[in-house]
Amino acid sequence: MAEKQKILIVDDDEHIAEIISLYLTKECFETQSVGDGESALQAVKTFAPDLVLLDLMLPGMDGYQVCRELRISSQIPIIMLSAKGEIFDKVLGLEMGADDYMEKPFDSKELVARVKAVLRRSRTQPAAEPKVEESEELRFPDLTINRTNYSVTCMGQRIEMPPKELELLYFLASSPNRVYSREQLLDQIWGYDYVGDTRTVDVHIKRIREKIGDHTAWKISTIWGRGYRFEALQ
Q: What's residue 9's pLDDT?
A: 96
Structural domains present in the chain:
6-124 (3.40.50.2300), 137-232 (1.10.10.10)
Whether the Cβ atoms of residue 169 and residue 179 lie closer than 8 Å to each other: no
Distances (CA, A) of 233 to 174, 197, 206, 210: 14, 31, 20, 19
Q: What is the pTM of this model?
A: 0.57
Reported as a single tens digit per residue, the pLDDT across 59-78 is 888 888 899 888 887 889 99
Inform me whether the pLDDT recorded for 196 exceeds 70.
Answer: no
Q: What's residue 187's pLDDT?
A: 83
Beta bridge partners of 157: 154
Mean pLDDT of 11-33: 93
d(CA 183, CA 193): 12
3-class state of residue 25 by DSSP: helix
3-class state of residue 178 by DSSP: coil
Higher pLDDT among residues 115 and 133, named by residue = 115
Q: Which 8-state DSSP code applies to residue 180?
A: B
